[in-house]
């Protein structure tokens, strides 16, 4: 079954949680943890390269990571396509690359380029008509009818809540398969988005952002279908690496943290070393 078809079937059964991965290893950990989908987080990919999420990575750099996330496991991948990396022609090229890579869904946002993380301030938007054109181009470019074009609007922080809803309605009319209203700031806004917008809806749920956390069953009851958790894995990894580095600097090794480290065997199982070595015996 195609990844896109599989994702649509999962969405038809109930809300899907997609933790954010930023490389092949984190994608494999998401799959091993029993999730049904993985999110290729543009912000986490940027930070993995040592840069903030403000549009500094090139299209090719992002696609290199997206391809590795897809290749790492068998889960449907929902990818962050930022603004489509430019204008109309860029969107077409981006969509073709996403489809070749094998992603099941991707979202394009209505920020002007270079974009900012959805939970940073001082964002700016393109005209809604230009965004509608990007959505139409994305849908027309895809040869896979099951692949999901997700339209994201960052308008709440720029134009206000009602304007964000109005933009979202236009994006649905333009052909978006799923809508993503970024960074609602209250539980009332989260409810209103689900009530006022038809069709499939995505919500960004992570600790410490502008959006209050809501349990998955409650989101499902409201009418949401997909929840992405973009940066939590990376944030956890940062603290784990900092603690290990502090121990190595102090004592010269990390043996005191042995219970918090993956064993040699566990690490090799995660990256499937035995499977690759056994190819020589076929």
List the catalytic residues.
39, 53, 80, 82, 107, 109, 117, 152, 182, 204
Give dist(CA 6, CA 95) in Å, integer.
19
**Other C-beta atoms lying within 10 Å of the C-beta of residue 111:** 23
Q: Among 161, 162, 83, 77, which residue's Cα sits nearest to residue 116?
A: 83
- Give, for 18, the enclosing helix (H) or strand (E): strand 16-21
User: What's the first-to-final CA gap in the chain, in angstroms?
Assistant: 26
List of E strands, 33-123:
38-40, 77-80, 105-109
Instruction: Give the residue carrying structure tokens 């990390």.
Output: 254
Specify the DSSP class assigned to residue 264: H
Reference 73, options 11, 23, 123, 119; nearest CA is 23
Taking alpha carbons only, the member of 250, 238, 236 closest to residue 33 is 236
Pair 103, 78: CB distance under 8 Å? yes
Question: Can the peptide bond before residue 33 be classed as cis, meaning omega within 30 degrees of 0?
Answer: no
The radius of gyration of the chain from alpha carbons, rounded to an integer in Å, stands at 19
């Amino acid at each position: 079954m195609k990844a896109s078809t599989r994702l649509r079937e999962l969405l038809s059964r109930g809300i899907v949680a997609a933790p954010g991965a930023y490389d092949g290893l984190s994608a494999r950990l998401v799959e091993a943890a029993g999730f049904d989908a993985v999110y290729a987080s543009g912000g986490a990919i940027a930070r993995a390269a040592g840069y903030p999420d403000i549009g500094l990575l090139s299209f090719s750099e992002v696609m290199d990571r997206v391809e590795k996330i897809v290749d790492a496991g068998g889960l449907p991948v929902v990818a962050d396509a930022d603004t489509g990396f430019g204008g109309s022609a860029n969107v077409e090229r981006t969509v073709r690359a996403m489809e070749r890579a094998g992603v099941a869904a991707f979202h394009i946002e209505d920020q002007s380029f270079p974009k900012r993380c959805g939970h940073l301030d001082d964002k700016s938007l393109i005209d809604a008509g230009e965004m509608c054109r990007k959505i139409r181009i994305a849908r027309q470019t895809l040869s896979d009818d099951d692949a999901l074009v997700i339209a994201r609007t960052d308008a709440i922080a720029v134009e206000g809540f009602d304007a964000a809803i109005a933009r979202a309605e236009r994006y649905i009319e333009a052909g978006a398969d799923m809508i993503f209203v970024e960074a609602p700031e209250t539980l009332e806004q989260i409810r209103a988005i689900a009530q006022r917008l038809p069709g499939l809806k995505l919500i960004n749920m992570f600790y410490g952002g502008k959006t209050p956390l809501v349990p998955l069953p409650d989101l499902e009851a409201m009418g949401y279908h997909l929840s992405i958790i973009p940066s939590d894995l990376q944030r956890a990894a940062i603290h784990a690496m900092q603690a290990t580095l502090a121990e190595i600097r102090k004592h010269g090794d990390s043996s005191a943290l042995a219970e918090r480290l993956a064993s040699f065997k566990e690490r090799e199982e995660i990256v499937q070393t035995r499977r690759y070595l056994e190819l020589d015996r076929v």
